[in-house]
Amino acid sequence: MLSRAEMRVRVEQVLRGIVIAAIAVMLWQSLHQQTDSGDQFVSARGVGGGALAEWSAFAKAPGKIHLQLVSVPSTIDRAWLGALAGAGSSVTWAGDLAPVMIDAQPIASPAGGTKVIVAAPSGSSVVMSDDVGVLDTVHVQNGGAALTLNSVADHVTARAKGSVALTSPRDSIVLNKILVIGDAGWESKFVVAALEEEGWKVDAFIRVAPGVEVSQGSAAIDTSRYSAVVAIDGAAVPYANRILEFARTGGGVVLGAQAAALDAMAPLRAGAAARATSDARAIQAGGSVTLATLALSAITSLRSDAVPVEKRAGAVAIAARRIAAGRALQIGYEDTWRWRMGGAEGAVRDHRLWWTALVSSVASARQAPREMAAASIDEAPMIGLVAAVGPSASARAVSNLSGRPSDWMAWLFVLLALALIGEVTSRRLRGAS
Amino acid sequence: MDGRLMSDFTFCTGQYDSGDWDSAPTLPANLIDSVARYTSIAVAPSGAIVPLSSGVVLEYPLVYLTGHLPFRFSEAERRNVRKLVERGGMLFIDDHNHDIGGVFHKTAMEEIARTFSQPKDLPNDHEIYRCFFKFGDGPPATSHELNGWGDNLVHKNLQAVMQGDRIGVLYSSKDYSSEWNYSPDSKRFSTVDNTRFGVNIIVYALTR
């Protein structure tokens, strides 16, 4: 058991040890900084003003670089940061930036056009622009949004919260004809009319009598001649095998409700065709016809590889599936011509656009690459930033992680001073020298 | 297909306010019989009579009109027939008088010109003369023409108002309304069915 005086001496020895250790650490830190400038910490708001060049001009790159970003750096700046990180600097960043991605694909339609798809956080607003100016603002839901443009300049940009994604349609497409097969009747007639009015080149096999067809086009159904086949009804049965082979080799097929109900079309359809829910004529008597009032043969028992494309009151109205290299779309709506004839103003246009959209969604089209400057494309800037320097770190986390030398050196000095004062005071008070 | 909704072709006679729209009452049954007899077109067994002033007429993209008396469209009739033709339908108008000096012809031509445009002669090699049966000389003559009734003329051409490259309004001075206005049962007494051109008109309307 130590006496009170002995305990006091021991405490003084411990305080003396702390002082010596602190002085040793500070001496080591001082010498280390003099011989290694790489542990310098740089904090900057962005990479403008020649900052990257400045950091790169050091004898050795700064040990730690932290960026507080208000916008995603350009492709070149990201590559530069990546190079600094590769040279040994620890590069971190923080900022409230939206991860935005953009893609543009040509639409398989005679009218042309481009479908622009944007990925961004749900709820965000993305401003779409092209070389000429602002096109539209899209509000993102479920992580994505799409915009159809009739014409587009060389570049399309999507801008949201400091991110600017930029793309350019890469391909143009070469469309072939559309083949419509059906019995002589209003549906066949008006499907052909709708497609022709929209600019498609249409061949038609229209069955008028047993062995008699009003034909225009080639009996060889292949992708070198046709982009898609529209099978309206039972007149397509004699061609079922050829249509199936056409789909397997990449062609698109649209199955009308009556054609889909036939056994011969089973390998092509997405599901079973139920009986029509209502008589379109009875519905029409109450007012103008719309897509919603057409009789519907709901698509039931969907195949495992089929996806519903459109529903009406919970019933699948349109479904699609892949068939080897091609695609098939099954329609449940009956007698769509009634919509064109008996609809409100604009029904002819709506019917035409609806049919062309269906055909476009399955049509095979050869893609012809366009000449473009790949360097000007930046479709996913945030991904580029993360790939170059890693994901964002919050300012607090960065602070804790980096541990600025001046902070802990100050605390070490305070500890040294307190230990020294305590040790000297203790000795003086007990009369020791 | 049993039990499924079928969009059968229904022969439609247009009812207009101004004249005797129902002057050929057995013609529809006769043409329906011919369509069923010669083609595989799904055809409703009976025709429909629809007022041109009703929007329901748009359910029938081929509408047949005939008469002897002055022919005038009301505003509602004019609006509906114009919409029907613009949306892809077709009017077939036949002068039951077979008389280009008669009131039906004069007033009908005025109404067509006012509602659409002035009808022009349809070339006799037009598709309508070969889309099912072949008529190398154009529109077949009627017995009324050959017998010298009416205007005592054999009309060489039909007239038409075109909508793009298809016929929107087909006008006949040949009096097919008399020629085809008999019971289908009587066809067995004919060596050649004189309604065959009527089948062509229907096939053309359904396919072009």
What does residue B5 show for φ and ψ, rounded to 5 degrees?
-65, 130
Residue A45 lies in a domain: no
Assess: ipTM above 0.85: yes
A281: nearest CA partner in chain B: B59
Whole-number Å distance between alpha carbons of A181 and A170: 34
Residue A340 lies in a domain: yes
Give the closest of A193, A209, A348 to B39, CB-based: A209
> A313-329 in b/e burial notation, b at 16+ Cβ within 10 A?
eebbbbbbbebeebbbb
Whole-number Å distance between alpha carbons of A411 and A240: 84
* Domain boundary assignment for chain B: 12-207
- Tell me whether residue B77 is exposed, middle or buried, using C-beta atoms within 10 angstroms of its C-beta: 0 to 12, 13 to 18, 19 or more: buried
Whole-number Å distance between alpha carbons of A212 and B91: 25
Beta strands in A251-302 (DSSP E): 252-255, 272-276, 297-300
Whether residue A137 is found in the same domain as residue A194: no
- Out of A55-59, B66-70, B175-179, B187-191, pick the least confident: A55-59
Look at chain A and report how many structural domains it folds into.
2
Q: Measuring CA to CA, how many Å separate A128 from each of A140, A144, A152, A158, A162?
A: 12, 13, 11, 5, 14
Residues in B closer than 8 angstroms to A187, CB to CB, are: 7
A263: nearest CA partner in chain B: B1
Whether residue A288 is found in the same domain as residue A318: yes
Residue A322 lies in a domain: yes
Whole-prediction pTM:
0.77
Per-residue pLDDT for B201 more than 70?
Answer: yes
Question: What CATH number corresponds to the domain at position A128?
Answer: 2.60.40
* Helix, coil or strand: residue B163: strand
If one compares B157 and A218, the residue with the highest pLDDT of the two is: B157
Last residue of a domain, one of A379, A407, A427: A379
Last residue of a domain, one of A357, A379, A401: A379
Per-residue pLDDT for A155 more than 90?
Answer: no
Fold of B12-207: Rossmann fold (3.40.50)
Last residue of a domain, one of A342, A369, A396: A369
Whether residue A161 is found in the same domain as residue A242: no
Contact B184, B111 (CB under 8 A): no
Whether residue A317 is found in the same domain as residue A183: yes
Q: Measuring CA to CA, how many Å separate A158 from each of A106, A150, A154, A168?
A: 17, 17, 14, 12
Whole-number Å distance between alpha carbons of A319 and A317: 7
pLDDT attached to residue B128: 97
Contact B169, B2 (CB under 8 A): no
Residue A281 lies in a domain: yes
Contact B41, B206 (CB under 8 A): yes
Closest-CA residue to A21 (of A414, A404, A416, A424): A416
Give the closest of A208, A261, A335 to B40, CB-based: A208
- Within 10 Å of residue A274's Cβ, how many Cβ atoms? 17
Per-residue pLDDT for A373 more than 80?
Answer: no
Beta strands in chain B (DSSP E): 12-15, 48-51, 62-67, 90-95, 120-121, 159-163, 166-172
- Out of A50-54, A323-327, A380-384, pick the least confident: A50-54
Structural element, H or E, at residue A189: helix A186-197
**HSE of B38, CA atoms in CB hemisphere, 13 A:** 19
Q: Under an 8 A CB cutoff, do B40 and A214 touch?
A: no
* Helix, coil or strand: residue B6: coil
A334 touches chain B (CB under 8 A): yes
Residues in A closer than 8 angstroms to B58, CB to CB, are: 341-342
Whole-number Å distance between alpha carbons of A97 and A119: 14
The chain-wide mean pLDDT, for chain A, equals 86
Residue A403 lies in a domain: no
Question: What CATH number corresponds to the domain at position A245?
Answer: 3.40.50.880
Q: Under an 8 A CB cutoff, do B59 and A342 touch?
A: yes
Domain, as residue range, for A325: 173-369
- Chain A nearest-CA distance from B102, in A, is 34
Whether residue A161 is found in the same domain as residue A182: no
Which of B58, B129, B201 should we substitute to test contact with A (largest number of A Cβ atoms within 10 Å)?
Answer: B58
Whether residue A179 is found in the same domain as residue A303: yes
- Chain B nearest-CA distance from A275, in A, is 6
Whether residue A251 is found in the same domain as residue A284: yes
- Tell me whether residue B134 is exposed, middle or buried, using C-beta atoms within 10 angstroms of its C-beta: 0 to 12, 13 to 18, 19 or more: exposed
pLDDT tens for A68-93 read 888 999 888 898 888 888 887 888 88
Whether residue A190 is found in the same domain as residue A108: no
Rounding to the nearest 10 degrees, give the CA dihedral for residues A27, A29, A33, A34. Answer: 10
- Residue B180: which pLDDT band, with cuts at 50, 70 and 90? very high
- Out of A191-200, A405-414, B33-42, B134-143, pick the least confident: A405-414
Whether residue A146 is found in the same domain as residue A232: no
A338 touches chain B (CB under 8 A): yes
Whether residue A317 is found in the same domain as residue A240: yes
Q: Measuring CA to CA, how many Å separate B190 from each of A54, B35, B174, B175, B207?
A: 104, 17, 20, 19, 28
Structure tokens, B44: 């409703």
**For a pLDDT cut of 90, what percent of chain B falls above it?**
87
Residue A18 lies in a domain: no
- Within 10 Å of residue A303's Cβ, how many Cβ atoms? 14
Give the closest of A185, A190, A214 to B42, CB-based: A185
Whether residue A329 is found in the same domain as residue A276: yes
- Residue A33: which pLDDT band, with cuts at 50, 70 and 90? low
Structure tokens, A253: 């097929």
Whether residue A242 is found in the same domain as residue A302: yes
Name every residue in B having a CB less than 8 A away from some CB of A: 1, 3-5, 7, 9, 38-42, 55-56, 58-59, 61, 84, 86-89, 131-132, 203, 206-208
If one compares A278 and A284, the residue with the highest pLDDT of the two is: A278
Rounding to the nearest 10 degrees, give the CA dihedral for residues A229, A256, A114, A134. Answer: 160
pLDDT tens for B120-166 read 999 999 999 999 999 999 999 999 888 887 888 899 999 999 999 99
Residue A220 lies in a domain: yes
Whole-number Å distance between alpha carbons of A422 and A413: 14
The chain-wide mean pLDDT, for chain B, equals 93
Contact A155, A166 (CB under 8 A): yes
A258 touches chain B (CB under 8 A): yes
Residue A91 lies in a domain: no
